[in-house]
Structure 1
Amino acid sequence: MSEAGQGGWRPGGGRHVLLAVHTGRQDITELARSSAARLARAGITVRVLDDEAEALGIEGAEVVPADAEAARGAEIVMVFGGDGTFLRAAELARYSHAALMGVNLGRVGFLAETEPEAVEETLTAIEQCAYSVEKRLAIEVDVLDAAGNVVGGTWALNEVSVEKAQRSRVLDVVISIDSRPLTSFGCDGVLFATPTGSTAYAFSAGGPVVWPDVEALLLVPTNAHALFARPLVTSPDAVLSVAIPPDGNRARVSADGRRALDVPDGGRVDVRRAARPVRIARVHPATFGDRLVAKFGLPVRGFRDARRHDPGHELPPSRNVLARDVVSLSSGTDSGSDGAAREEVRGGTADPDA
């Protein structure tokens, strides 16, 4: 394993898989239990978080605190839930070389690629190390006071939003790119997103959909009072800044909807590419375009060929574009068109250079 010899916490040696589970639903916990039993039969040590252990009741599982050490030495963090559970698991995997592998049990689930009916195939891939790992760009955030001193910081896989703290007032902002002022306007907030997060909050705010293998940073104003307040796509090496005038409204930062910080009066928020990417394990051959079609029910037949005009007629309801009966790739085809910096994983060992 890539963690060996690097001071990572790896009790007992061997292969380890950490489970992150939305325990609020019985069907999810049952699927996690059955998956854990199969992994254990394959000789893989299953870890569970201490705040989920009682609800899961997995006999023989290794119970670990839900902190930065939880994924140390683990090969996979297997996520059972929706994108919210996936983002919580990303916090656990951030400081390790573990790759995230999600089973989508939520409503949309762009981050978790495996649907419940394909769990057995995913478990086989884990047992045989027959998966690839994508390195997804993440972003780091610095919050500075009026004197330019860093007073806080966080990170995000999807997006960071700078929002007005008082709903009744407009937030005045000054936007800068690489320390050069670009524009200013009043708004409800400003989103800074990664390509991975382009289909999340930024998408609903009118931002572009960006393929995950495109390295870029996105800036999307929300409800701006300005003629020029279009979404921007910048270099991944740019530093994006939003300054809050001292006489303006109070602002706060929200990262992935999970971590929040206050911005001091007259302060500034700087956003840049994180030094460490997030690693996501992939098993299935569906491309990112296939996922867009499946998640949004996009029409994939020419409009002149369509004979029906009711919503959802493009694909029979029993078929899913993510399933192999719709998406067929030859054995020699590289399925990594949507994967950022894919790397093959063999023998349970991933590239240690995150």
Structure 2
Amino acid sequence: MNRSVLLVTHSGRAEAVHAAEEARLALQDVGMTIIDESGSAGASGVEMVVVLGGDGTILRAAELTRGTGVPLLGVNLGHVGFLAESEREDIHEAARRIAAREYDVEERRTVDVRVLRPDGVVTTGWAINEATVEKADRARMVEVVVEVDGRPLSSFGCDGVVMATSTGSTAHAFSAGGPVVWPDVDATLLVPVSAHALFARPIVVGPSSVLAVEILTRSGSPGVLTCDGRRKEDLPVGTRVEVRRGSESVRLARMSHAPFTDRLVSRFALPVTGWRGRGPNGTAARDGGGTRGTGVAGATPEDGR
């Protein structure tokens, strides 16, 4: 049986090009057929998508493969690399495990986005990390009212509002002051960005809740919707943006069972030297600065594109 892998890479980076050639040879050595991103077949019929680059490249691969159910395996060539599973030096081991089917598949929830314009036009979108309503004019704030489950919560002027998945909690939402949410928590975050208000705190809602942001008619500035830092749409004054639990998930191939805590410590280089606690199995922990992680949550598309 012919087993194929789609290879997606950041062609603008020399390191990614060299890593792609190494991955191609490693996968061919274990009997896999390689399909390039430029191929006409795309992700149709492939067993896995191997992505070489940063999390921005993985977000692009998720867009290319949406609706196929094909899992993505990220090889980190970026900086933070939360979505990536393997590191640059692990390419040959990753190829072996793909051929042996020695990996798990993790489902990551997305958000569905619905835009209702004042002229009656309705458009839709989606995101694995976040949907962000931002000001279109850099010199002016955008006036918005935020809503949870059909009830208004607060209105304020701001630079924007981030509505993120748990996966995206370490991306734009994190840089805007939102909490880190473990990726197995089925929740949606709303994080105001530079809001001029007494109450403009990040909030976390459950999987059945619907968030909405309306650009108020009194706003002198329109907005722009950005999904995963990749897909943009202009938002005239009076536009309403609704965000709810996504109808499709993104599937990530996992070769490590490292706890998210370890991955967080590794990716952000958090200081844990001196810890003397006990691990989940009750054994005494070693004093150290954390373990080498393999990224789980989201990161901004700018991180290692």
TM-score (norm. length: structure 2): 0.88
Could you tell me how far apart the structure 2 residues matched to 1:18 and 1:235 are?
35
Equivalent residue, structure 2, for 1:55: none
CA shift digits 1:56-87 (9 cap, x unpaired): xxxxxxx23xxxx6212212110000011111
Could you tell me how far apart the structure 1 residues matched to 2:293 and 2:89 are?
11
Q: What is the root-mean-square deviation of aligned Cα atoms in Å?
A: 2.1
Equivalent residue, structure 1, for 2:243: 271
Equivalent residue, structure 2, for 1:204: 175
- 1:79-158 equivalence runs, <5 A: 79-146=51-118, 149-158=120-129
Matched, 1:187 2:158: yes
SS of the counterpart of 1:193? strand
Equivalent residue, structure 2, for 1:168: 139
Shift in Å at residue 181 of structure 1?
1.0
Equivalent residue, structure 2, for 1:75: 47
SS of the counterpart of 1:96? coil
Question: How many equivalent residue pairs?
Answer: 286
Does the aligned pair in 1 maintain the 2:159–2:194 contact within 8 Å?
yes
Equivalent residue, structure 2, for 1:246: 217
- 1:1-354 equivalence runs, <5 A: 14-50=2-38, 63-64=39-40, 70-146=42-118, 149-248=120-219, 249-302=221-274, 315=289, 321-322=292-293
Could you tell me how far apart the structure 1 residues matched to 2:46 and 2:178 are?
35
Does the aligned pair in 2 maintain the 1:157–1:197 contact within 8 Å?
yes
Could you tell me how far apart the structure 2 residues matched to 1:194 and 1:143 are?
18
4+ residue segments displaced more than 6 Å = none
What code does the residue aligned with 2:79 have? R
Could you tell me how far apart the structure 2 residues matched to 1:184 and 1:28 are?
44
Does the aligned pair in 2 maintain the 1:192–1:271 contact within 8 Å?
yes
Does 1 or 2 have the higher relative contact order (CA < 8 Å, sep 6+)?
2
Give unmatched runs, 5+ long, in structure 1. 1-12, 51-62, 305-312, 324-337, 340-354
Could you tell me how far apart the structure 2 residues matched to 1:45 and 1:153 are?
35
Does the aligned pair in 1 maintain the 2:263–2:291 contact within 8 Å?
no
Could you tell me how far apart the structure 1 residues matched to 2:26 and 2:288 are?
37
Give unmatched runs, 5+ long, in structure 2. 277-286, 298-305
Structure with the greater alpha carbon radius of gyration: 1
SS of the counterpart of 1:88? helix
Shift in Å at residue 257 of structure 1?
0.8
What code does the residue aligned with 2:130 have? E
Say which is worse superposed, 78-87 or 19-28, in terms of deviation: 19-28
Could you tell me how far apart the structure 1 residues matched to 2:19 and 2:291 are?
21
Say which is worse superposed, 263-272 or 41-50, in terms of deviation: 41-50
Could you tell me how far apart the structure 2 residues matched to 1:31 and 1:303 are?
36
Could you tell me how far apart the structure 2 residues matched to 1:259 and 1:126 are?
31
Does the aligned pair in 1 maintain the 2:143–2:218 contact within 8 Å?
no
CA shift digits 1:211-261 (9 cap, x unpaired): 111100000000011111110100112110001112312011001110001
Could you tell me how far apart the structure 1 residues matched to 2:32 and 2:44 are?
15
Shift in Å at residue 116 of structure 1?
1.1
What code does the residue aligned with 1:183 have? S
Could you tell me how far apart the structure 2 residues matched to 1:241 and 1:27 are?
41
